[in-house]
Each structure stands twice: as C-alpha cells, then as structure tokens.
Chains A and B, each alone.
Chain A
Amino acid sequence: MKGMHLPDIRMLLQGASPRSSEMFPELNNLLNTTPDKAEQGKLTLLCDARTDGSFLVHHFLSFYLKANCKVCFVALLQSFSHYNIVAQKLGVSLAAARERGQLVFLEGLKSSVDVFFQAQEDPHPLQFLREASAGNLQPLYEFVREALTPADNGEAAWRCPVLLVDDLSVLLSLGMGAVAVLDFVHYCRATVCCELKGNMVALVHDSGDAEDEENNTLLIGLSHQSHLILRTEGLATGFCKDVHGQLRILWRRPSQSTARRDRSLTFQYKIQDKNVSFFARGMSPAIL
C-alpha cells in the first residue's frame, strides 16, 4: 500500500488498549504523539470532504486539555453543551476546564444572537455580524490574543497556548471573504504559534464539486501553511455501516523547500460511541 510505514502499522496492530477515558488513543498512535510530548508552534489543518470530520475537533480539544495547555476554542458550529457532553465521553470536563481558567470558550451560536439583536458597547469578537459590508476579523483576533496571552503575574500555569477553531468555513458563510479569513489565520499564527510558541488547529470543509471559490481559496491557502493536515473523506463507494470514512494524514514542512516528499498515511475509520477505531484500508474488522 502506498505510503505505509511499517513500524507504524506494527504499533497499530499491537493496539493500545483503548481506555475509553482517553481521547482517541489510536489516533495518538497514528500521529505518534501523546499529551506529554505535544509539539509546539504548529498549525494543524483539519479538512473534511463528503463527510463529518468533527470527531477530529473533539479529539484535539480533549488532547490539548489533557496536555495541560491553555486552550482558546472558537466554537462557531455547535453549542457549548454539545462539546461538553462529547468531551465528557472522552474523559474531559469542559465546564471544569473553563472554571479553572484553562479553557476560554467562544460559543458562536449564543454570542451571535447577543451581538445581532443588541448593540454592544465594547467591540464584540463577532462584531462583523452587525456590519453591512464585509469587514475584517480583527475583533476576533483581539479576543484570541487576549485569551491566550499569559497573565502578567509571570507564573506559567499552563504548558502552551492552543487555538482551536470549529470551523473556518462558517466565517465564509457569514460574509467574510477568504482573504479576510486568511488574514485572521495569519495574525493568529504569528501570535499563537510564533510569539507564544503555541499551536493552532482549524477545521475547513472541502466543498468538493460545489464550486465554492472562496472556500477553495481558503483551503489551498491554509494547506500551504500547515505542518499537519488531517483529511477525512467519505468513501467513494458510498455509505458503509462499518467504515465511516477514510483519514489521510499528511506531515508537511511549510517553511523548508521540500526536497524530500512529505510523509503521508491513509487509514479508514469507524466512529463509535466513545472512540474512533482506525484500520488499514480494506482491513476493517467487519470484513476480516
């Protein structure tokens, strides 16, 4: 199989016993990472085509909270209770993390109602919803920067800051141009990844053949800047009960010219109640 690296498969087949209290241990194995040794200064792009890649968002959210990082979560797609209930299945309480200051949560749906129906005194991160013409995302960037810049008292309470966005395509639907969103990502990367030595994870939908120019621009622009791309795709053959889709992992080196090829792995997966299991293509336990 193309791109398979033998030691990784062995690790996969040995199988970490999936403790359902962890995030997705199999995914950690595939990415060769654990909460203790999370890398820093990286931009990870999550992308889904013809399927729902939100399980990756849940994974990274609980992963970084377990890694003791300070997380700023710009959650535009679902309500806080949705993410909280799923996170509890993965062993993390978002409410508790928010209480102790580890998690800054921007609940897009709820905030949008607040900012839309009532003029706010201070600039609101979703201020652009009230504007007539396409503006920019500066208030949102300011919100992120304020959330993740460590307090002046000097104590390093958390490991490193992490910005998580679910998802960037929604910003396009709300009237932002692709350039404005790319600017926002650029500013966030400069602050979060370079200045604060943290990480950034963002989800973008791949609209496929829906001819969404803006979305394609955003996706291509982000792909070039990312260190790690996780791309979930629905199966080309259609719906299958035992295989929900295919995950392609691509490790990149955006800053260096790639004399050597980027490393990539492809797996198929099945989502369960509290876990996601991965297997090599065509090796679903249901078929073997």
Chain B
Amino acid sequence: MAAVATCGAGAGGTESMAAATSKSNVTSFQRRGPRARGTDSGGPRLVSIAGTRPSVRNGQLLVSTGLPALDQLLGGGLAVGTVLLVEEDKYSIYSPLLFKYFLAEGIINGHTLLVASAKEDPADILQELPAPLLDDSCKKEFDEDVCNKKPESDIKMKIAWRYQLSPKMEVGPVTSSRFGHYYDVSKRIPRELIETSKWHGFFLPEKMSSADKVECCSLTPGYMKLLHFIQNIIYEEGFDGSNPQKKQRNILRIGIQSLGLPLWGDDVCCSENCDSSHSLSKFLYILRGLLRTSLSACIITMPTHLIQNKAIIARVTNLSDTVVALESFVGSERETNPLYKDYHGLIHIRQIPRLNNLICDESDVKDLAFKLKRKLFTIEDKVLYK
C-alpha cells in the first residue's frame, strides 16, 4: 500500500514540482501498527487507520492535507495531533480552497469532520467541497501536462504512471487506499458522499443564540463555546481514548474558518491595542492541548493580513505547528509582472514543526508559487529563468 501511495504522490508530484525534493523518501517498508502521538508512550499499538501513514523520519502518524504537493513540502503530510495554520491571502480567494481540500480528503478517507465557521454555515461549506478526480480523468489531466513538456522521456513516464496506478476507483462511495487525492474544483462532491460521512458543524451565530452561561475567563465567548464544542466531540466520540465505551479507530479532522475575524467577537483584526489580545493565543494553546491528546488534526485559516499587531502574529505562529501563508497576486503589482504570469500567487512555508526530533523536514526549495490551472491547484518551484 505504501508503495502505491509513493508512486501516486511521487509521479503526480513530479508534474507539479519542478524541483522535486524528497520524493523518494517514502519506502515500501510499512511499519506494523504505527504509534500515534495521541496515545501514551506505553499504550497499545494502533491498527492502521484509513487515510494515514507513518512518517519515514520518526514514525509519526500523518494525514494528507488534501493537496499532495503540499504534503510533500510538509515532509509527507500533516502530523496527527497538530495544527496547520493557513495565513489567508488578501481577498480570501485561495485559502478557502486549501480548507476545502482538507475537508474533502477527510470525507474520501472516511474521517469524522468538525467544521467551524462564524460566517458560513458548515452545511453549505460541505456542499461546496470539490469532487475527487477519478482515475480516468486524473490520468487525462496528467497526460496533457506531460505532453506539453519534453517529448522524449515522457513516453516512458506515461507507461510507468499507468502501470503502477492502483485499480480503478468506483463512482461514489469512493473507497481508496491512496494517501492524498486530487480534486476538481469545478465540480461539487457527490451528495451521497457527504450524506454517508460523519460530520459536526459549529456555526457561531447558532451557538451564540443559546443563552448558556459561559464562565468568564478572558476568552471571548465565541472561542469558549468552540473549545467546549470540540472537547465535547473528542470526549463523546472517543478520539482521546478516555471514554471506555467508545473505541475509536478514526481521525477527527477539525476545520476552523477565518479565525480572528470580528465575527468571532474578537477585536484582534480591528485595532492595534485590542482588549482581548490574549484571547486568540490562549484559544490556540488550549486547542493544541486538545489535539495533542487525541487522534485529530486541525486546519485553521486566519486573515493575518488584517491583524495589525505584529506581536500577535508572532505569538500565534509560535503556538501553531505548521504555518503556511498564501499570497495572491490579485490586485498587486505582481499581477502584471511577466515573471509571474503563469502563477496566481506565492505560497510560503513559514514553519514546519520539529516533532519527536531535533531536525525537521525542511524542503530545500523556498521559492514556491501556486496556480489554479485546469481545475487543479498546483505548487511549483518558481522558475525565474526559463
């Protein structure tokens, strides 16, 4: 299974990444029962969970972000028990895509979802998830790409790609043993997939209307409610292993959209000297505590371009594990710059965690640009000199 996953991610990756970095890191050696971070060091070994794989470097359990190119940049995927912070691009055009890829990947793998938002109803967010690319159309997309490049070697590449591809996926319920899938943003995910999946929604306006007395403790009420909601789901569904009735063998994918907006009741985006300046960082700390002690992974998008107090951004970065920033060219002078004409924006990998290790999987390639091309979001090394 790991071998197929490698080829899938690797071959697709070479298309997208001109400077293919550590694509051959994953070996076909599959450890039995990877140790998950969520369990105690002496706890029972877990059976392999769908949609996860152990990291080559330290056996850390990884899940896919839904974007195989990003998985490779992060050293194989997102570690279970960690937070992926996405700094939104200026007009929030591309960050929702990363958010949706993450959630869609969860549905395809059968993970439980928890979607939190202050501005959009989670049910609507789920309806708009992109459809997974099935094998046939996936092959067609990449064949087109390959043809556009060097003529000689791609005949061999085409054959290798087809030969090693796993058996055809069926139309919905999509069962797949691959790690990381490709999505077509122009199509919506089939409704049957959403209906058969397990998800929990937290829509702030609904939750705030119920007049529960929330204990005041310097967190804005919106954040308090969200933390309690998340903790409740983790405990009730047994993701932290503490509930004796529930033996959970699944991952909880948490997605929090646009954290920090004034809609959450936080004024961190409004003024430089805000009253609740610690609310956001405290929320992140407690959230990370919840994640570290459970089988979950979280994506948070945050409009950091609106936060005027740079100290808060620094603190938020230090309290997150993986931090990725999107910078779109829309409305900037780079839009007309001929160097960037093929791309829609830049993607900065600001921070990669060092988990269980002194070193981390830092990619050698630092100048990365992304583009949304033919319905696919690709990340490439900026080739400035053609």
Contacts of A286 in B (CB 8 A): none
User: Do A132 and B314 have beta carbons less than 8 Å apart?
Assistant: no
User: Do B282 and A175 have beta carbons less than 8 Å apart?
Assistant: yes
User: Do B358 and A276 have beta carbons less than 8 Å apart?
Assistant: yes
User: How many B residues have CB within 8 A of the partner chain?
Assistant: 39
Q: Flag the segment in B109-117, B123-131, B286-294 that touches A.
A: B286-294
Give min CB distance, B232 to chain A, whole Å.
Answer: 9
- Asked if B188 is an interface residue, CB under 8 A from chain A, the answer is no
User: Do B358 and A81 have beta carbons less than 8 Å apart?
Assistant: no
User: Do A89 and B41 have beta carbons less than 8 Å apart?
Assistant: no
- Asked if A85 is an interface residue, CB under 8 A from chain B, the answer is yes
A276 to B231, CA, bound (A): 39
- Asked if A288 is an interface residue, CB under 8 A from chain B, the answer is no
Of all chain A residues, the one with the shortest Cβ separation from B278 is A175
Contact A52/B354 with A117-B231, A241-B364 known, Cβ cut-off 8 Å: yes
- Asked if A223 is an interface residue, CB under 8 A from chain B, the answer is no
Beta-carbon contacts of A86-106 to B below 8 Å, as 1s and 0s?
A: 100100000100000000000
- Asked if A215 is an interface residue, CB under 8 A from chain B, the answer is yes
Of all chain B residues, the one with the shortest Cβ separation from A58 is B358
- Asked if A182 is an interface residue, CB under 8 A from chain B, the answer is no
Contact A173/B318 with A82-B356, A86-B357 known, Cβ cut-off 8 Å: yes
Contact A174/B310 with A86-B357, A239-B366, A273-B359 known, Cβ cut-off 8 Å: no
Contacts of B362 in A (CB 8 A): 239
Partner of A212, one of B215, B286, B314: B314
Beta-carbon contacts of A105-125 to B below 8 Å, as 1s and 0s?
A: 000111011001100000000
Contacts of B292 in A (CB 8 A): 79, 109-110
Of all chain B residues, the one with the shortest Cβ separation from A173 is B281
Of all chain A residues, the one with the shortest Cβ separation from B364 is A241
Beta-carbon contacts of A53-66 to B below 8 Å, as 1s and 0s?
A: 01100100000000
Partner of B318, one of A109, A130, A169: A169
Of all chain A residues, the one with the shortest Cβ separation from B240 is A113
User: Do A110 and B289 have beta carbons less than 8 Å apart?
Assistant: yes
User: Do B286 and A116 have beta carbons less than 8 Å apart?
Assistant: yes
Q: Flag the segment in A156-164, A193-201, A203-211, A253-261 that touches B.
A: A203-211
A80 to B40, CA, bound (A): 9
Contacts of B358 in A (CB 8 A): 55, 58, 86, 89, 271-274, 276
Contact A117/B228 with A109-B289, A210-B313, A272-B359 known, Cβ cut-off 8 Å: yes
Contacts of A67 in B (CB 8 A): none
Contacts of A215 in B (CB 8 A): 311
User: Do A112 and B289 have beta carbons less than 8 Å apart?
Assistant: yes
Of all chain A residues, the one with the shortest Cβ separation from B218 is A132
User: Do B216 and A132 have beta carbons less than 8 Å apart?
Assistant: yes
Contacts of B376 in A (CB 8 A): none
- Beyond A81-B40, A172-B315, A239-B362, 4 additional pairs, beta carbon < 8 A: A109-B285, A175-B218, A271-B358, A272-B358
Q: List 21 A-B contacts (CB under 8 A).
A: A52-B354, A78-B355, A79-B37, A81-B40, A81-B41, A82-B355, A109-B285, A117-B231, A129-B282, A132-B216, A133-B218, A173-B281, A173-B282, A173-B318, A207-B311, A210-B310, A210-B313, A214-B311, A271-B359, A273-B357, A273-B358
Interface residue ranges, B against A (CB under 8 Å):
37, 40-41, 58, 81, 215-218, 227-228, 231, 278, 281-282, 285-286, 288-290, 292-293, 309-311, 313-315, 318-319, 354-359, 362, 364, 366
